[in-house]
Amino acid sequence: MTILIVNGPNLNRLGLRKPEIYGTKTMAQILLEIQQKWPDVHFIYRQSNHEGDLIDWIQEANDQQHGIVLNAGGYSHTSVALRDAVEECKVPVVEVHISDITQREAFRRVSLLTGVCAHSIIGHGTDGYSEAVEWLLNNI
């Protein structure tokens, strides 16, 4: 079983700034906890600040991975191209947002991805990543 975890723009800054919104854990810590919780699962982690990278990885996952955890960051609210890639993806994609985007600025309240993702976990802090993995393992 291989699960791809993809983070979008600025999420490489996790744990370094804005702890009041995004918590204090770095992605390395979050990934370590996930790997320790599910030692038999092969996790691949990718992060990019570039829209096309995220689209390429979603497309490639069709052949190589069993499920995807996706926090597309700001592109969740803007990218029709990323939505199209997720819609076409044959493996289930679980959307994660660390913060509760429904309670933030108006421009963050709509995610273009929600309608094409198998499941969404919004506003559960960084625990949302592990909850997304759990959902995939129960539903793949």
Interacting residue ranges for ligand CA2, rule: CB under 6 A = 10-11, 13-14, 16-18, 22, 71, 73-74, 76, 97-99, 101, 108
Nearer to ligand CA2, 13 or 50 (CB): 13
The residues annotated as belonging to the active site are: 22, 97
* DSSP three-state, residue 89: coil
Q: Closer to ligand CA2 by CB, 100 or 134: give it.
A: 100
Which CB sits closer to ligand CA2, 61 or 121?
Answer: 121
- Least Cβ distance, residue 90 to ligand CA2 (angstroms): 24
- Report, in Å, the least distance between residue 131 CB and ligand CA2: 13
Length in residues, the chain: 140
Q: How far is the CB of 63 from ligand CA2 (least distance, A)?
A: 27
* Residue (22 or 135) nearer to ligand CA2, CB: 22
**Rounded Cα gap, residues 44 and 1, in angstroms:** 11
Quote the least distance from Cβ 107 to ligand CA2, whole Å. Answer: 8
b (16+ CB within 10 A) / e for 98-109: bbebeeeeeebe
Tokens read off for 75: 């592109």
Report the candidate in 125, 60, 140 with the shortest Cα–Cα distance to residue 94: 140
Q: Rounded to an integer, what distance in angstroms lies between the CA atom of residue 89 and that of residue 113?
A: 12
